[in-house]
Amino acid sequence: MAYVKTRDGTDLFVKSWGEGRAVILTHGWPLAADMWDAQAMALAKAGYRAITYDRRGFGRSGQPWSGYDYDTFADDLADVMQETGATTDATIVGFSMGGGEIARYMSRHEGKGVVAAGLVSSVVPYVLRTNDNPDGVPEETLQQIADGVEKDRAHFFRNTFFPQVFGVGFITSPVSEEVLDMTTGTALHAGLWPTLAAAQAFGHTDFRPDLPAFRVPTLIIHGTADKTVPIDASARPAARAITQSQLIEYDGEPHGLNATASDRLTRDLLTFVGA
């Protein structure tokens, strides 16, 4: 099954690898399903069905004008689960902005069919710095991201955003130049409007009201050196608010730990799902 048609008619590109109990993985901004390939392959080899898909507006999916809000993103996840038959005993895991889809699915769709959840480098519970969220990201920083995308997104992604995501420094880098090139290329497959609209959504959606809906075991993984989504505004408060949560902090790892700590992330996911 290459594509799923959502309830509003948008085509979403879907990859389904392996057979067994479903593990659905939602990707980060501004990437696509392929960011999960290493983990999806390991899950499939371990006897699970790994399902990944390109969010609307990104990768190989359709690029409608509307629907770049978390209610719609959660409905898209529900449609992918329904159309792929992953409606019982499923584990759903979200990376970065994809964590918001997990949170909103748990509340909006009451966690239907889900037995476990995961939040990796996630934006949950709230990215934006406010008076009652002092550890969040300043509005000016979020605006700088939008301005960089609008002005010259190829340059911004390759030379500013992804180096920060992967913790690239002046002297050392945990990822190769080719990884930076590949992720930039993936990001440029997304439409300009979806890229901007999705950034607005993940930067300004408050998921704190969604957290009580997590009533299943929940794995939370986050790097302590994450400068994109600071751990004190995300994983730590999420872990305190989600009753059945397990927080694993990756000491010194940046936001893009799917690449910088890929093997460790794979092992922790496999352990969590019971492989």
pLDDT of residue 171: 77
Is pLDDT at 164 greater than 80 in this prediction? yes
Is pLDDT at 215 greater than 80 in this prediction? yes
Known catalytic membership, residue 96: yes
Show the CA angle centred on residue 74, arms to residues 72 and 75, nearest 5°.
60
Known catalytic membership, residue 255: yes
Tell me the CATH number at 229.
3.40.50.1820
Candidates 54, 75, 76, 226; catalytic one: 226
Is pLDDT at 275 greater than 70 in this prediction? no
Q: Report, as an integer, the average pLDDT of 26-42.
A: 98
Q: Report, as an integer, the average pLDDT of 140-163.
A: 98
What rounded mean pLDDT belongs to the chain? 97
Instruction: Residue 64: give the domain boundaries.
Output: 3-273
Candidates 96, 107, 121, 245; catalytic one: 96
- The per-residue pLDDT for range 37-72, each reduced to its tens digit, is 999 999 999 999 999 999 999 999 999 999 999 999
- Which strand ranges, in their side-by-side order, compose the sheet holding 3-5? 3-5, 11-17, 48-53, 21-26, 90-95, 114-120, 218-223, 245-250
pLDDT of residue 134: 96
Total domains in the fold of the chain: 1
> What is the rounded end-to-end Cα distance, in angstroms, of the chain?
25
Q: What percent of the chain has pLDDT over 70?
A: 99
pLDDT of residue 179: 97
The SS3 call for residue 84 is helix
Candidates 107, 222, 255, 268; catalytic one: 255
